[in-house]
Amino acid sequence: MCGLTGFYSHDASGARAGIGSRMADAIAHRGPDDAGVWSDEAAGLTLAHRRLSVLDLSPAGHQPMHSACTRYVIAFNGEIYNHLDLRRRLEREGKQPAWRGHADTETLLACFAAWGVEKTLQATAGMFAIALWDRHAKVLTLARDRLGEKPLYWAWQGDALLFGSELKALKAHPAFHAAVDRNAIALLLRHGYIGAPHSIYQNVHKLLAGHYINIPLAGQGAARSAESKAYWRMNDAIHAGLAQPFAGTADQAADALEQQLSASIGGQMLADVPLGAFLSGGIDSSAIVALMQAQSPRPVRTFTIGFDDPRYNEAQHAQAIARHLGTEHTELYVRAEDALAVIPRLPDIYDEPFADSSQIPTFLVCQLARQHVTVSLSGDAGDELFGGYNTYQFAPALWRRIGRLPAPLRRAAAAGLAGLPASSWDAVFRPLRALMPDRFARALNGERLHKLAGLLSSDSKEAFYHRLSSHWEQPEHVVIGCREPATLLDTPQAWPETDSFEHWMMAVGTQSYMADDILPKVDRAAMANSLEVRIPMLDHRVVELAWRMPLALKLRDGKGKWLLREVLYRHVPRELIERPKKGFSIPLGAWLRGPLRDWAEALLDEGRLRREGYFHPEPLRRAWRLHLEGKQDCSARLWSPLMFQAWLEKQD
């Protein structure tokens, strides 16, 4: 795991190495063990790298690295888990070089030299971002792993092409002068994240997962018109899996999943440094740890954090599972002050506004793990692949009820509810609330009625899901001068063909929420602590197998992740697992009314909002009042503008 960056420009004026070093130093947390800068002076290209040594700790792993044939130079971030298999394949074909070490970076270079770019990318199993320079063809290739575990930004700034693992690397180049993209703020308010290919800056792009882009640098015109190309498509994996469903029994399906997941875990346990795993006590992390321990000759190091608030604490469950599996377990109970202390660091850690509040406990568990290991395995992606989110069950049931109503009646009811301002509905409800129990009184408010109006007006189950998963349904009414870009959720031509509403939600969720929220959250939290996190369920072979499994093996008896549970029950007693899903969260709503109140009030000050000119103050102030008065928990909606405001405050 490392950080890469670089630039193309003929205007470096002899300062090329210095600029490259500054760009790499901006992401030194991604690679504290080594640094390197290399330039092709004639071509105007510079590659820079920061190394977190995980495989081949010797100087043979230094980057940027040259191929044995001298044609290619690479800066590489990530891990290629099947690189030993790739070496054996090269050797069978008689195309191996004289190996200098055992780094997977060297393996990649040999594969590029033997097979070319696309064939090599298709042969890999791993997580990665790559900058590859072809010295003969004068072509720069930028590439990203299939599911998007590793980030890669790129942008033209004037006559300079900039690229890197994080935005702060691009910003360290003197040519960087991008303006804030108001359309991206709309995405942030809608989803809580800014999805690829967009970033918080205009014309600064995130390379899409499973894509690569060849940028010819012999002439600027050709370079600027280059488009990314997919070497692997999630939709193709979905279509192939549904077309050839697993035909065996449920027990055989569990056997197949355990075998494939164990193989993925075995490959990801390869490291020349201490390795462990996160263990929350939930199904996903417990399954990963159980299959790790089954392959390990010594106790696996496991890590969890706990909270004093029992509504958010699962540490005792993690401890029970660790005790059963015999892991070497470390837990840390986090005080509210510890979590709150992370908040001022979030703009620097995440580099652009990012509003999933579980970023805080994620950072803390990464911080804990890094005190003991350099690599940690994670259970992420189980929900998307095996139907774990509660939404996958209640959304279809709710849509069936709403969908039974004639469309004209639904639209008329929606228009009636939305026709009265939320504040007017609150005035109507105010005398009624005094006569009702608190739990019902809190639910009776204008904002909720407007949310219901949006759901009722949905023309399709897909539009219903889009509204259901939106923090702000009309961000253009909040962000001044924005035009919300289309995303996968509202682009039907990009949807895969699925056999059910549940599978459709899982398919789009994997390519949106997981790719643009879960994975950046984990990557930035881990790398801020110089920790490598690996996600075995995102081995593309596990993903492809998951999509061969019928929906009945994922959602059954009112529970999600049925098949994954069956694998886990082979290693952990059922009674240690069966309990309501909590998720990885913090008491954000209470904190915003308590210790974070002054901080949030300052960021949402009406005069400040008007001076800065990004938000219409009225809707934000209304949500803030509703939250403070306890009429509605608006914490999820408020966290997005708060994270933007906190980020904006840190900009030069």
pLDDT tens-digit profile of 189-203?
A: 999 999 999 999 999
Which of 202, 232, 262 is the endpoint of a domain? Answer: 232
- List all residues 6 or more positions away from 205 whose beta carbon is below 8 Å from its beta carbon: 153, 154, 155, 196, 197, 198, 199
> Does residue 634 carry a catalytic annotation?
no
**212 and 281, same structural domain?**
no
**298 and 166, same structural domain?**
no
Q: Rg for the chain (alpha carbons), in Å?
A: 25
Confidence of residue 188 (pLDDT cuts 50, 70, 90): very high
* Annotated binding-site positions for L-glutamine: 104
- Least confident range from 57-71, 211-225, 242-256, 341-355: namely 211-225
Mean of per-residue pLDDT scores for the chain:
91
Q: Is residue 300 part of a domain?
A: yes
**189 and 80, same structural domain?**
yes
E runs forming strands in 499-605: 532-534
Residue 502 has pLDDT above 80, yes or no: yes
How much is the pLDDT for 243? 97
Write the pLDDT tens digit of every residue in 160-181.
Answer: 999 999 999 999 999 999 999 9
For residues 576 and 317, the answer to whether their CB atoms sit within 8 Å is yes
Neighbours of 614 (CB within 10 A): 17
- List all residues 6 or more positions away from 540 whose beta carbon is below 8 Å from its beta carbon: 125, 146, 147, 232, 237
Percent of the chain with pLDDT strictly greater than 70: 90
- Read off the CATH number of the domain in which 148 is found: 3.60.20.10
Which of 524, 545, 575 is the endpoint of a domain? Answer: 575
Write the pLDDT tens digit of every residue in 371-405.
Answer: 999 999 999 999 999 999 999 988 898 888 887 77
Q: Is residue 263 part of a domain?
A: yes
**277 and 187, same structural domain?**
no
Q: Give the domain extent around 561.
A: 254-381+503-575
Average pLDDT, integer, range 483-509: 96
230 versus 56: which is more confidently predicted? Answer: 230
- List all residues 6 or more positions away from 488 whose beta carbon is below 8 Å from its beta carbon: 195, 494, 495, 508, 511, 512
**223 and 326, same structural domain?**
no
Average pLDDT, integer, range 543-547: 98
Confidence of residue 632 (pLDDT cuts 50, 70, 90): confident
Measuring CA to CA, which residue among 482, 479, 452 is closest to residue 467?
A: 452
**367 and 277, same structural domain?**
yes
How much is the pLDDT for 224? 72
Which of 530, 558, 575 is the endpoint of a domain? Answer: 575
Residue 589 has pLDDT above 60, yes or no: yes
* Annotated binding-site positions: 104, 305, 378-379
Q: Is residue 165 part of a domain?
A: yes
Q: Is residue 226 part of a domain?
A: yes
Catalytic residue among 2, 111, 366, 482: 2
Residue 284 has pLDDT above 50, yes or no: yes
Outline where 13-143 has alpha helix (H). Answer: 16-25, 83-92, 104-115, 117-123
Average pLDDT, integer, range 136-163: 96
Distance from C-alpha of 450 to C-alpha of 19, rounded to nearest angstrom: 52
For residues 150 and 78, the answer to whether their CB atoms sit within 8 Å is yes
Write the pLDDT tens digit of every residue in 340-379.
Answer: 999 999 999 999 999 999 999 999 999 999 999 999 999 9
Average pLDDT, integer, range 46-57: 85
Average pLDDT, integer, range 123-148: 97
**187 and 64, same structural domain?**
yes
Average pLDDT, integer, range 628-650: 94
337 versus 225: which is more confidently predicted? Answer: 337
**110 and 203, same structural domain?**
yes
Residue 618 has pLDDT above 50, yes or no: yes
The pTM of the full predicted model, rounded to 2 decimals, is 0.92
* Annotated binding-site positions for ATP: 305, 378-379
How much is the pLDDT for 14? 74
Confidence of residue 457 (pLDDT cuts 50, 70, 90): confident
451 versus 58: which is more confidently predicted? Answer: 58
**334 and 227, same structural domain?**
no
**133 and 167, same structural domain?**
yes
How much is the pLDDT for 440? 47
For residues 205 and 153, the answer to whether their CB atoms sit within 8 Å is yes
The total of structural domains in the chain comes to: 2
Q: Is residue 455 part of a domain?
A: no
**265 and 205, same structural domain?**
no
Count of alpha carbons within 13 Å of 448, Cβ hemisphere only? 13
Residue 238 has pLDDT above 70, yes or no: yes
Write the pLDDT tens digit of every residue in 404-418.
Answer: 777 777 677 666 656
Measuring CA to CA, which residue among 59, 64, 108 is closest to residue 82?
A: 108
**89 and 8, same structural domain?**
yes
- Read off the CATH number of the domain in which 511 is found: 3.40.50.620
